[in-house]
Amino acid sequence: MCTVTFLPLKDRVLITSNRDEHVLRAPAALPEAVRTEHGNILFPRDGQAGGTWIALHSNGNAMVLLNGAWKRHEHQPPYRKSRGLIFLDIFNTATPSDTFSDIELDGIEPFTLVIWEHNSLTETRWDGTRKYLTRLPADVPRIWSSATLYDEEVIALRKRWFADWLAATTVKNAETIRRFHEWGGNGDETIALKMNRNGLLQTVSITGMEIGTSKAAMYYRDINAGLVSINEWQFEK
């Protein structure tokens, strides 16, 4: 939930996420589809709080979470609810960006959401006091890095890495963008896309969503367990 890229292609979009977590945190379960009154949701479930940081909906929407908003904040528990559970409350609707605008977030730790809904891209942020919502062009590649782990200088550096990858990569598809999420960086593993800080805080999984007009796929790799899950499904009409 700490590095996210958005890559629009001719007939689909790719949203890829690296989750950086403390290695002692309970591991997430492999992605499964959960039936709700509003349709099916496919997501890996956090092993500690029970929520998630990335999901696909059978209505064609997709969403991913990053910890923090604009800058590193002071962790002040207890919080009313985990961000991963608030994620599901927001996502399990027809228009998550509208739900974000309406939902009560007092007592929730700051977060950022990247939302793909009805072929449009939206970025929302909650800084603990105020909500921000920005509509973004859906034909421009983007990268986000969690404000809780990376300062402005490193975030800018990672944007340059992504721009260099875009310029140098002839074939852009789900496999090559996952490779960027695996190997992107400058040799310093503390700020690399697949990061590692003293073996305690590291990238524990890489998730890729490939979203077309009528179907989607989710690729999930649990790095520490050495497990890979691939789920494909048709959108519900």
pLDDT (0 to 100) of residue 65 = 98
Model's pTM, two decimal places? 0.96
Question: What pLDDT digit, counting tens, does each position of 174-230 carry?
Answer: 999 999 999 999 999 999 999 999 999 999 999 999 999 999 999 999 999 999 999
- In the chain, how many domains are there? 1
Dihedral-angle region of residue 49 (phi above 0 means left; psi in -120 to 50 means alpha; beta otherwise): alpha
Q: What is the CATH number of the domain that holds 140?
A: 3.60.60.10
Distances (CA, A) of 106 to 4, 86, 146: 25, 11, 21
Rounded Cα–Cα distance for residues 55 and 85 (Å): 12
pLDDT (0 to 100) of residue 1 = 65
Rounded Cα–Cα distance for residues 180 and 161 (Å): 9
Contact assessment for residue 211 and residue 13, using Cβ atoms and an 8 Å cutoff: yes
Residue corresponding to tokens 């996502």: 91
Domain carrying residue 230: 3-234
Handedness of CA 95, 100, 102, 103 (dihedral sign): positive
| Ranges in the chain, pLDDT < 70 | 1
pLDDT (0 to 100) of residue 221 = 98
